[in-house]
Structure 1
Amino acid sequence: MAKHIPPQSIWSPERRPRPHPATSPEEVDLAESDANVANDNQAGRDRRSEFQHDYDRLLFSTPVRRLADKTQVWPMEENDSVRTRLTHSHEVANLARSIGVRVYSTSSKEFELSGISSDAVLSVIQPILLATGLGHDLGNPPFGHQGEAAIGGWFVKRKEWIFSRTAQDGESLGADAVPEALHSEFTGFDGNPQGLRLLTRLQTHVDDLGLDLTAATLAAGLKYPICFDNVDLRNPLRKKGGYFSSEKDVVEWVREHTGLKEGQRHPLTWIMEACDDIAYSVLDVDDVLKKQVMSPDDVLVILRHKLHENPTVTKLLSRFREVEKKTMSPHAQHDIKIQYLRAFFIEALVTHASEQFIQNIGAIFDFSHQMPLMDNSQLCSALKQIAKQYAFNNPLVLRTEALGAAALDGLMCAFWFAISDRTRFDDIKSRRKSARSSYIFSLISPNYIEQACAPDVHGSNANGMRYRELRLLTDMISGMTDTYAMRLWSDLQAVPHVNGA
């Protein structure tokens, strides 16, 4: 018999309540449809768990599809075999599912004591891990970490006035200024809290619930379980803000239903984080080999030098020698060696992550654990160093990222002009003052504008007019794909200002 899940459970399948009762005939029909779906679920016609629904919603969502044109390492790469954020996210999800099965099969008792039944690996653990793996990078702007730096840098250059005055030489915003405690949400812009905002706010929903995911899935996706005001660079769990103040009410709701507190990370988040590290280390090196920047033999030479008598490296050396004895072309040998590298490294790191989780499972479930699972893996660290040297520091990557950063800076200037150049300060939708700003403002996604104008239900500090304006700006910029950003910047440069406006 399935174990009853307590009201406060880290596995809570609850979804946020609809804020208003159905009033119109259309809303009544929708409510009845939802009730019919629930009845179908109970009758067994839809056997998916709530968490399987979460994964399916993510899989078919627009933001996930956009990841196909967002940088993993190589911006706007024409080689189809090289990874994008989409392929990276699918791989993270798959790795997370594999580790989830391993740790549950070894330590199921710990999971069951936390409030789930003995058959929950398929209906709870796997779909949550698949969902968090697929969604972990949704908030990343164009050009990855360089895009984050470009957005943050734009605010840093304007920090003396952008948060407190109408314009560089303008009047004080008074009560509409952004509180100083919230400045770092913009100057230190990060894709993780933007991802939570994307999932819970920015996707169109009849009741303004985003993708309407469960409390447990949202909790597991919160990599840094703190607000920006509680950042502590000395603590791996607190080195970045995990949610914006605009989503504080969502996080409070999640905590109400999961029992988690500020600074407490959901147990499955450790697995998702480890799989992201594995993908960054192994699969980014795999892309270096696909790009023929270096060879599999080069990787092995570096690792033999860095990791003396590492068993995985030793096994690979033996396999490479076996391949070289085969009567096949050098090209075929090259490809087979890449396959061996990928398979052996993934297996070694997945095993390491699983063992670390199991060894620390008590501390993970009582929320006292601090160190990421892959931090003490020498193999993971060595592979990351190779990726950094030969991928992230590749001149082609650096050049494209520099072009992308310049485009984002220009786009932010253009969209800020369009957002702020209006007839009424208290109404974001009011008429623009120029044809150019009217055109640029028309390019902003309507659901982003609606969210910027939403009723003040997200906390008084978070909803001053300047905060809303800046959040609208970052929503628009971070939602772009690489190609769209470059194309749009080229287009906007062809639309001149008039009379110096």
Structure 2
Amino acid sequence: MNWQNLISNKRLGQEDRHALRHDDRSEFKRDSDRLIYSAPFRRLQNKTQVFPLPGSVFVHNRLTHSLEVASLGKSLGDDVARKLIKKHPELQGTLFEEIGTIVQTACYAHDMGNPPFGHSGEKAIQTFFTEGSGAYLKDKVSPRFWDDITHFEGNANAFRLLTHRFLGRREGGFVMTYSTLASIVKYPLSSSLAGKHGKFGFFASEEDIYKKIAKELGIISKQVSDNGTAYARHPLVYLVEAADDICYEIMDIEDSHKLKLLSFEETAELLLGFFDEETKKSIRNRIVEEGVTDKNEQVVYFRACAVGLLEALCVDVFVENEEAILNGTFEGSLIDHIPTLQRNNYKHCSKVSVEKIYSSKTVLDVELSGYKIMETLMEALIGAAVEPEKFHSKQLIRRFSSQYDIQNPHLEDRIMAVIDYISGMTDIYALDIYQKINGISLPII
């Protein structure tokens, strides 16, 4: 792969058409603006990140997480661009200079396909078909479609959300640039090739779109079979992944301190664990010199130091491994290749997160409730899609927005319309529909 081909401002759905532009925004900046002003992006403010949506203590939701990931992604992209332009002077003055904006936009989009209630919502969609009342549908749909819905993936759903032509919408969905779309696809393979880990980057319905993008950008094809295609990652995916990896691990620790799941001492140990003893001492001395006595502010300071260090290390890994990344032979994430001290502490942070954060009562409660809500919605709405002629089904179908193709004569398309509808819900809206379906909540008469 080469950078000249990989960075393209060609737009999906407008390949042969170039509208007159009346301002100086780049095509990649247009992508960024388009996402920020979109309804699916706004809905992230009412989608769970890890902890339940805020009460008296404000913690991260999907929107604040995405904004922070995008900020870090921009820094990663800009720093990589600056270093690689020194290495390859011929890239100066080309679209390569804008990779920071491309990574930033891909970071904005990376969680847009996630359903309500975080990973428990994702699991509820999968298990409805594998273990729940939707299992009987296996014989009514194609094997490829069954693989897609039983391994439902938020990343693949984000690609669909941005590229699919929903009813009443224009060709190309959001009509994003090819490079931005490719930078979103963390697992560039179809569900049939995903194996036990179940991670994939596009549904069968969008596979041809990804193939077209990959061909245009010169993305390496790794496997082609009757079951689908697997590709090397677009190089910028590694930067999007690094921004996400750093933010969710570090910010969850900060949130846990605010919620008193971790003590100040535990939090400080985790965040300063990325540094050698001399640097730890220097950081603590700076806090004293600057008069920062508030414990929460000290945690913020430690967090900023940790994020800054990890960002710089990931940039170095990317630049040092540029050839392997472009050849499609680079293994693992950028975090997997940072120096041993930082890599081991990152693993330690992950271990503590599983033991003390993700297993906490507050997190488990929202997962249990969210799973039940999603299970109920899937059962009711998929049932309506399968038997649309029933009276109750007709009532439920009337709840759907006009963009969802719930009246399609093909069962697979109707099932996908339900998944599109449910996965686009906020936590609050999903709860509201759940209560109405169960007769718990009634409009005031």
TM-score (norm 2): 0.87
Q: Distance in 1 between matches of 2:426 and 2:202?
A: 22
Answer whether contact 1:418 1:440 (CA < 8 A) is retained: yes
**Is the partner of 2:137 in helix, strand or coil?**
coil
Q: Once the 2 structures are TM-superposed, how far is the Cα of residue 108 of structure 1 from its aligned partner?
A: 1.7
Q: Deviations over 1:13-56 (max 9, x none)?
A: 1123459x9xxxxxxxxxxxx87xx33x3xxx411111111111
**Is the partner of 1:161 in helix, strand or coil?**
helix
**Is the partner of 1:375 in helix, strand or coil?**
helix
Q: Alpha carbons of 1:318 and 1:18: their partners in 2 closer, same or farther (altered >3 Å)?
A: closer
Answer whether contact 1:96 1:130 (CA < 8 A) is retained: yes
Q: Alpha carbons of 1:382 and 1:313: their partners in 2 closer, same or farther (altered >3 Å)?
A: farther
Answer whether contact 2:7 2:95 (CA < 8 A) is retained: no
Answer whether contact 2:81 2:96 (CA < 8 A) is retained: yes
Q: Does 1:250 align with 2:209?
A: yes
Answer whether contact 1:76 1:483 (CA < 8 A) is retained: no
Letter in 2 for 1:248: E
Q: Distance in 2 between matches of 1:302 and 1:56?
A: 36
Residue 74 of structure 1: aligned partner: 51
Q: Alpha carbons of 1:397 and 1:58: their partners in 2 closer, same or farther (altered >3 Å)?
A: same
Q: Distance in 2 between matches of 1:300 and 1:314?
A: 15
Structure 2 unaligned blocks of 5 or more: 222-229, 338-342
1:357 to 308, 318, 321: 318
Q: Distance in 1 between matches of 2:204 and 2:11?
A: 20
Q: Does 1:13 align with 2:36?
A: no
Which piece of structure 1 moves more, 274-283 or 364-373? Answer: 364-373
Q: Does 1:180 align with 2:180?
A: no
**Paired-residue identity, %:** 29
Q: Once the 2 structures are TM-superposed, how far is the Cα of residue 263 of structure 1 from its aligned partner?
A: 1.6
**Is the partner of 2:172 in helix, strand or coil?**
coil
Q: Alpha carbons of 1:85 and 1:162: their partners in 2 closer, same or farther (altered >3 Å)?
A: same
The alignment covers a number of residue pairs equal to: 425
Structure 1 unaligned blocks of 5 or more: 22-33, 165-176, 424-432, 454-463, 497-501
Q: Distance in 2 between matches of 1:322 and 1:17?
A: 53
Please list, as runs of the form range in 1=range in 2, the aligned pairs for 1:26-425 lying within 5 A after superposition.
38-39=19-20, 41=21, 45-79=22-56, 81-108=58-85, 117-118=92-93, 120=95, 124-157=98-131, 158=133, 160-164=135-139, 177-201=140-164, 206-232=169-195, 240-260=199-219, 261=221, 262-301=230-269, 311=275, 315-316=279-280, 319-320=283-284, 323=287, 332-376=293-337, 377-423=343-389
Q: Distance in 1 between matches of 2:56 and 2:236?
A: 34
Q: Once the 2 structures are TM-superposed, how far is the Cα of residue 11 of structure 1 from its aligned partner?
A: 1.1
Residue 471 of structure 1: aligned partner: 416
Q: Deviations over 1:386-420 (max 9, x none)?
A: 32223211101101210110011011111112222
| Bigger-Rg structure (1/2) | 1
Q: Deviations over 1:439-462 (max 9, x none)?
A: 211112211127x73xxxxxxxxx
Q: Once the 2 structures are TM-superposed, how far is the Cα of residue 465 of structure 1 from its aligned partner?
A: 2.3
Q: Distance in 1 between matches of 2:336 and 2:404?
A: 38
Answer whether contact 1:70 1:84 (CA < 8 A) is retained: yes
Q: Distance in 1 between matches of 2:176 and 2:11?
A: 6
Q: Distance in 1 between matches of 2:387 and 2:207?
A: 29
Q: Distance in 2 between matches of 1:314 and 1:138?
A: 41
Answer whether contact 1:70 1:482 (CA < 8 A) is retained: yes
**Is the partner of 1:299 in helix, strand or coil?**
helix
Q: Distance in 2 between matches of 1:103 and 1:322?
A: 29
Q: Deviations over 1:133-171 (max 9, x none)?
A: 00001000011111111111111024652122xxxxxxx
**Is the partner of 1:163 in helix, strand or coil?**
helix
Residue 401 of structure 2: aligned partner: 445
